[in-house]
Chain A
């Protein structure tokens, strides 16, 4: 079963706030977890990549994976207006390649100056 749930938003927060974006999934075989950022009228770009469970930090961004709860999160600290975009989660099982990626529908994030 390929199903990834993601709240479409919009999620509107003031500049400087901590943002939490989340996805839940049902396929326990998923091992690879990604977050893509998509600006308006642009293609998605890879933001974070995590294999299996745990946390990964890159600057203001932190990705968390909780496989026991089938739940992944992306945290953005000190949010900026330039972070306003749609954030897509994506995941794949251990056997699939890029063709096995399942994307969430995306959360539209608005950072108010």
Chain B
């Protein structure tokens, strides 16, 4: 089954404790992206990657890191999480970067930073 898999689904952590949210897709997609979704603010892009070893900042990259060493994986790293990073996070992928390519989303990771 074609899918984008994120782990974990739920995560509670404390300020400053480094964490990684994993994302994997099995569709051989070139384009991958991370979003955060907050009430009243909607979906905002954090980082994206057009292919292996090619990443770029989205609208809200501060406090996040990403890497794209393999085509299928695109982990999101929070080096020193803070409470304002409490949010619902989505990974997404598409065949290519073009706007008319369908974006496939994962099921989300609910992160709480205490």
Contacts and interface: CB of A to CB of B under 8 A. Distances in A.
B103 A103 contact: no
B99 A103 contact: no
Given A43-B106, A44-B105, A105-B42, A100 B99 contact: yes
Contact of A98 (B40, B90, B101, B106): B101
Interface string B71-114: 00000000000000000001010100111111111111000000
Contacts of B33: 98-99
B21 interface: no
Contacts of A106: 42
Contacts, number: 61
Contacts of A99: 33, 45, 48, 56, 58, 97
B108 A41 contact: yes
A103 B90 CA distance: 14
A103 B4 CA distance: 20
Interface string A78-113: 000000000010001000111111011110000000
